[in-house]
Amino acid sequence: MLKTLDLSQVVVLDIETVPQYPSFSDVPPHLQELLEQKTHFQRTADQSADEFYERAGILAEFGKIICIS
């Protein structure tokens, strides 16, 4: 497939995201509860929402875009 693709006609975008707040303790309580509910099935049994928060940038509700290149 790539052999037939004209790469001069391709646009590549890279979007970098980070969590909205510096740490889980800075997140308002109502959003902490939502994050706990949303990530319940993604977290391991011994992982808390606080520990999972570093990955919150990939979640639309909890992340923000810092760079598009």
Which pLDDT tens digit goes with each residue over 12-60?
999 999 999 999 999 999 999 999 999 999 999 899 999 999 889 999 9
CA distance 18 to 36: 18
Q: Are 53 and 66 in contact (CB under 8 A)?
A: no
Show me where the domains of the chain are located.
17-68
List Cβ neighbours of 51 (8 Å cut-off, separation of 6 or more): 43
CB 2 within 8 Å of CB 54 = no
Whether pTM exceeds 0.75: no
